[in-house]
Structure 1
Amino acid sequence: MSPPSRIGALVAAQRRAERLRLRIAAAAAAAVTVAAVGLLGLSGWFITGAALAGLGGLAAVQAFNYLMPSAVIRLLAILRTGARYAERVAGHEAALRALARLRPQLFAALASGSPGRALALSSGEASARLVQDVNAVQTLFVRLSAPWGALAGAAAAIGLTALANATAALLLALCMGASAAGSLLLARRLSDPAGRAAQIAVGSLKTRLSALESAAPELRAYGLETWAVEDCADRARDLDRSRITLTLAAGWLTVWQTAAAAGAVVLVTLAVVSAPAPLAALAILAALMGMDSTAGLASALHQNGAAAQAADRLDALAASPSKTGAEQAAPSSDTVALLGRSVSPPFRLAVVGASGVGKTTALERLIGLRDAPAGRFSLGGVDAADLDPARRRALFAYAAQDVRLMDASVRDNLGLAGAFDDETLWEALDDADLGDRFRRDPKGLDAPIGPDGARLSGGERRRLALARAYLRSAPWLVLDEPTEGLDAATEARVLAALDRRLSSRGQGLILVSHRLAPTDLCDAVVRLADERSALALGQGGQPVGLFDPQLVQ
């Protein structure tokens, strides 16, 4: 049995929250189709009756009541316009309000969910899901009024046609049923697969564009711009083909709707041939408009495939990992057991080792950015594998080796760590040896840094990420190559400030570095031969044997 759809539950919750607006939209849609059917049918009756009265002479003209029908026609025209406006406003407002709440919920699900799932998504794919797929889900709200409009229009058309002939009304009902059934079949056979393919193709194109954009400097350096353009063009052509197929499916739906409408008009005309001319005109035009009222339903069916594929993709994004009883427990202390040691703040531990042995991976498993294997790490006496990643991340402030920055101001990038006053922000920048750099900028904390910090040097980008980690209140500060790319003088200032900051706050430090100077700040150094083994190093880097977890309490 498949697990319940979380996106389905979120959409259902938003439908309940927007129940009033959706009901207004449905009622307005019904009013639109009823008014449209009545307007065309009554106009046909009125024009035909007036023509016959004119042919009947002056007495017939004087007896013909043209005031009441013309007033009703004007009323129906106003009602149709007003109801259409109400339907669009209420339906789209409900959809937009719901989507405004859905996007943060989905982003929170991605940020707090399984690390393996989150890391498997590229930035382009995540963007496509949170933008393109959520926009497609909008149709799950907007199209809710379509069935009500179609049913109301059908009922009005059948009722008016019955005034001329019961047989005509029955034939019209059968034609409407055939039209709806055929539209449903065509949508499932043609529109659904094409809509799903188009939704996937959009995600693929955005993923590729994001990947190539991030590698733009390398592509220019190696003269691969033409290859990149062609590669994107191939993805764009896939998207174009899927959209062409989707458009062709819409065309076949239109052809079927037109053929069904033409058949309905012919059958109704034959059935009312013996009825009075005004009623015959009313029945024929009402039948035509009644068949047209099902076009909105066909349009909704045409969008089913894209909406369903978007919902499936979002459901994978929003899926929650199963919770166990152990995952509900919180760590009882700030003690961390890793690589054979149990340490607590303000202890400082350095992890060194050759490139590729898994130092960064070990840290990411510890702090909840990757899934933790059972029995490898514990936090506060609880196996890290049994803790929700969000509970693990709460214990650590992290500055990664791979620095990621927003295309925004210095203040906005620091603000990811929380809301702080300017004094606190400047203090963090000073401790990262960046305060003077941004004080010289006329915009100060509001200075833009460009896409991923393009306006900063490599060392400045790293130190800005370090300042952001300083702002987060957590028992442990975890730094991965914090001084990589810095000259000796800058490194000395950064490390001196780091030493003072750790001492004043009583914060623990877990450090990964290939450089000797940062490890001098630490109480112990672990050389990692692989992700499962650790060797203790004493003064001067001499090995002193495998760590015993009881050596440091």
Structure 2
Amino acid sequence: MKLRELILHESARHRASGRRAALLGGVVGLASVLLLGLSGWFLAAAALAGAAGSAVALGFNYMLPSAAIRLLAIARTGARYGEAVFSHDAGLRIGARLRPALFAATAAAPVRQALAVARGSMLRVVMDDVARIETALVRRSAQWNAAGAAVSGVAMVALAGVPAAAVLVALLAATILANEALARRTRRSEARRDEALAELRLAADELLAAAPELRCYRHADAGQFLERPGRALALAGREAARARALAVMIQAGCMTLAAIAVLALSRGGPAPTAALATLAAAMATDGLAPLLRQIAERFSTRDSANRLDQLLAHEQQDMLPVVIGRPTLDLLGVHLKPGDRLQLEGQSGVGKTTLIEHLIGLRSPVAGRAKVAGVDVVFLRSEQLRSTFAWQPQDAAALSGTVRDNLLIARAGACDRALWQALHDAALDELVRALPHGLDSWIGEDGARLSGGERRRLAVARALVADAPWLLLDEPIEGLDPATAQLLLERLERRLCRTGQGLVVVSHRPLSCITRCRSVVVPQRCAAIEITHQPQPAACSLQPK
């Protein structure tokens, strides 16, 4: 789904809020101009009545205009509040729908497309671009605000004469066109500012991630790597600030010209009417401010929308139906039935982890390497593969949250009994029970309160919670002491026997507790791997455990 389609769909759902915001925006512009114009007329008329003598002053009806002024002030305040409520309700609801859609589209995108997105670009899209789209949606009522101000301003100035109204129309159009031209000229500087901000954010994120190592090796001056993107951001920011200042000057200049021109053209008429027209002309020009902000941000908003479209829309490939039940697995020529166990062995760097990532769709699959239910993984969607396999990565990330949060990633809605069973089978239940709040204990950013081995066992437990037909465990006992590793393998064996799940495990250590586990030795950088029962040069060996 493209961004425009998503916005149109969500706008239809929240059409009532959008219409109310537009209506109230028009009321704000209308009431603002009427309020200032009527105030000018009232002050001028009251002054003339007072100067004309006590008889005229006593006969002057000040009650009606003063009541109208109060009414307009209340209407403007109430309409402005209502516009803010309804515009934010519609805009932020659409934004709340946009973020999950963006994440879902990124996760479902072809692997090559998803991995091609740099981290800094993703941060810019998720944070800046989505916020910019939200702001544009919230400000959609700005055009109605400006329209209300312009129409009421021209109508009131027309009371002083058609030439004055024509001049105001010309100056309003000139203000809009001048800001449009300025926005086009500053488009590149806004783009440079966005790029510099993304580069600075990425550099800062990388430095913060490596902060412990940098402090350990006395690289306190590593912050100098932020100077270049920082200078680029400052330069682009100054250019953007100059453009905004020029836009303000253009509007202020046009407002001043409108007031002076209307006053000059109204000199032959009554003074109260001239005051009304002059102030109405100034307020009508000032009422364009929301629209002018929208114009200034239009090109940057369009660029943000294009970047979001690139992530939201990806090529839909014709894939085969979803694999259901407990499918068979053909891996590197080895046929595995449901419940079978296979250990991948080999030197570091030969591609064991890469092979697993191909299998679950985290890398572009290679034809002929693996089949699920007799279907080559090349023809299966990533979500189909991920529903078949539960994966424990070699370097698993931990959420900055509770133990429960980290486990529920694998299967939302899993009951506490399933969570505790997974922790028990991963030999981590005793530790979690000893924590102050059990499953609801906070583990810190990236599991900072856990040791490396505890984080690894938490990742194993997360894979077990998924309850998928096949388990893919990448170095599950690496970094564990012999007793803990033995306990984990024993409990894993009992779980496999109980659930009938299949197992593919990457490990350099013998898995003596896992029965009926065959092993495959993956050769160095082998592009086409042949599996045989007798060891041969440049081939993998397969033998029962």
Q: Shorter-chain TM-score: which interval?
A: over 0.9
Pick aligned residue for 2:291 from 290, 297, 308: 297
1:188-207 per-residue CA deviation (whole Å, 9 max, x = no partner) reads: 211x3333333333333332
After superposition, where does 1:89-488 map in structure 2 within 5 Å? Answer: 89-121=85-117, 125-190=121-186, 192-227=187-222, 229-324=223-318, 326-328=319-321, 330=323, 334-418=327-411, 419-488=413-482
What SS does the aligned partner of 2:11 have? helix
> TM-score under structure 2 normalisation?
0.93
CA distance in 2, matches of 1:213, 1:124: 14
1:68-101 per-residue CA deviation (whole Å, 9 max, x = no partner) reads: 1111111111111111111111111222222122
1:224 corresponds to which letter in structure 2? H
Question: Does 447-456 or 462-471 show the bigger shift?
Answer: 447-456
CA distance in 1, matches of 2:133, 2:17: 17
Does 1:32 pair with 2:28?
yes
What SS does the aligned partner of 1:138 have? helix
CA distance in 2, matches of 1:188, 1:504: 67
**8 A Cα contact 1:537 1:544, kept in partner:** no
CA distance in 1, matches of 2:353, 2:231: 39
**8 A Cα contact 1:123 1:210, kept in partner:** no
CA distance in 2, matches of 1:116, 1:492: 39
CA distance in 2, matches of 1:293, 1:440: 63
CA distance in 1, matches of 2:538, 2:248: 79
What SS does the aligned partner of 1:534 have? coil
1:187 corresponds to which letter in structure 2? A
Q: Which residue in 1 is equivalent to 2:69? A: 73
- 1:330 offset after TM fit, Å? 4.2
CA distance in 2, matches of 1:272, 1:13: 50
1:276-303 per-residue CA deviation (whole Å, 9 max, x = no partner) reads: 2111111111111111111111111122
CA distance in 1, matches of 2:216, 2:384: 43
**8 A Cα contact 1:362 1:531, kept in partner:** no
2:520 corresponds to which letter in structure 1? V
1:112-139 per-residue CA deviation (whole Å, 9 max, x = no partner) reads: 2222333344656534422332111112
Pick aligned residue for 1:499 from 463, 474, 493: 493
* Gap change, CA 1:340 and 1:532, over 3 Å in 2: farther
What SS does the aligned partner of 1:511 have? strand
CA distance in 2, matches of 1:376, 1:321: 24
What SS does the aligned partner of 2:529 have? strand
CA distance in 2, matches of 1:189, 1:123: 30
CA distance in 1, matches of 2:457, 2:535: 31
CA RMSD of superposed structures (Å)? 2.5
CA distance in 1, matches of 2:366, 2:289: 55
CA distance in 2, matches of 1:257, 1:95: 27
Aligned residues: 542
CA distance in 1, matches of 2:393, 2:51: 90
1:430-471 per-residue CA deviation (whole Å, 9 max, x = no partner) reads: 211112222222322222222111222211111110111111
CA distance in 2, matches of 1:232, 1:446: 38
**8 A Cα contact 2:535 2:541, kept in partner:** no
What SS does the aligned partner of 2:192 have? helix
2:301 corresponds to which letter in structure 1? A
CA distance in 2, matches of 1:375, 1:436: 43
1:187-244 per-residue CA deviation (whole Å, 9 max, x = no partner) reads: 1211x333333333333333223222222222222222321x2223443443333333
**8 A Cα contact 2:41 2:273, kept in partner:** yes
1:402 corresponds to which letter in structure 2? D
2:518 corresponds to which letter in structure 1? A
What SS does the aligned partner of 1:417 have? coil
CA distance in 1, matches of 2:348, 2:354: 11
Q: Which residue in 1 is equivalent to 2:41? A: 45
CA distance in 2, matches of 1:439, 1:316: 46
CA distance in 2, matches of 1:200, 1:234: 13
Alignment gaps of 5+ in structure 1: none
Identity of matched residues, %: 40
CA distance in 2, matches of 1:457, 1:54: 85
Question: Does 122-131 or 385-394 show the bigger shift?
Answer: 122-131
CA distance in 1, matches of 2:255, 2:394: 65
* Gap change, CA 1:238 and 1:328, over 3 Å in 2: farther
What SS does the aligned partner of 1:405 have? coil
1:260 corresponds to which letter in structure 2? C
CA distance in 2, matches of 1:544, 1:332: 38
What SS does the aligned partner of 2:522 have? strand
CA distance in 2, matches of 1:251, 1:138: 24
2:132 corresponds to which letter in structure 1? A
Question: Does 241-250 or 271-280 show the bigger shift?
Answer: 241-250
- 1:545 offset after TM fit, Å? 9.5
* Gap change, CA 1:136 and 1:519, over 3 Å in 2: farther
**8 A Cα contact 1:193 1:305, kept in partner:** no
What SS does the aligned partner of 1:350 have? strand
CA distance in 2, matches of 1:420, 1:354: 37
Alignment gaps of 5+ in structure 2: none
> TM-score under structure 1 normalisation?
0.92
CA distance in 2, matches of 1:225, 1:380: 54
CA distance in 1, matches of 2:526, 2:255: 70
1:223-271 per-residue CA deviation (whole Å, 9 max, x = no partner) reads: 22321x2223443443333333222111111111112122222222222
2:279 corresponds to which letter in structure 1? L
CA distance in 2, matches of 1:364, 1:522: 24
CA distance in 2, matches of 1:61, 1:545: 111
2:148 corresponds to which letter in structure 1? A
**8 A Cα contact 1:350 1:519, kept in partner:** no
1:95 corresponds to which letter in structure 2? G
Q: Which residue in 2 is equivalent to 1:60? A: 56
* Gap change, CA 1:403 and 1:104, over 3 Å in 2: same
**8 A Cα contact 1:434 1:460, kept in partner:** yes
What SS does the aligned partner of 2:304 have? helix
- 1:55 offset after TM fit, Å? 2.0
